[in-house]
Amino acid sequence: MLRSDKSFLIRLDKISSRLSSKSAKGADPAALCKVYTETRPLMLALLPFVRKIPVYGQRIAQVIEFLMKIADSLCPGFNKIQSGWVSSG
């Protein structure tokens, strides 16, 4: 397994564990935003790997970026300076 593949899997595990935590359950916006702010850097790090998935990777990455933009606008703590985080690369 390549080092980048191992890194990818580790990041996926971290996101999975955060999403399955008690703070991510239910419809409490504060709890959801807390989990999102914790997993956001991991999702950003995974986007280059997702883009490399044959056939659908680019589309999947665009959907993830779109959902992250929505979460950025709904969760406090992300100001307008951070709005340029999405790369189309």
Phi first, then psi, for residue 78 (nearest 5°) are -110, 105
User: What pLDDT band is residue 83 in, cutting at 50, 70 and 90?
Assistant: very low
> pTM of the full predicted structure?
0.59
What's the pLDDT at 78? 56
- Contact criterion met (CB below 8 Å) for 26 and 68: no
pLDDT at 12 over 90: no
What's the pLDDT at 68? 92
Question: How far is residue 48 CA from its own chain's centroid?
Answer: 12
pLDDT 10s digits, 19-70: 666 555 556 778 788 888 888 999 999 999 999 999 999 999 999 999 999 8
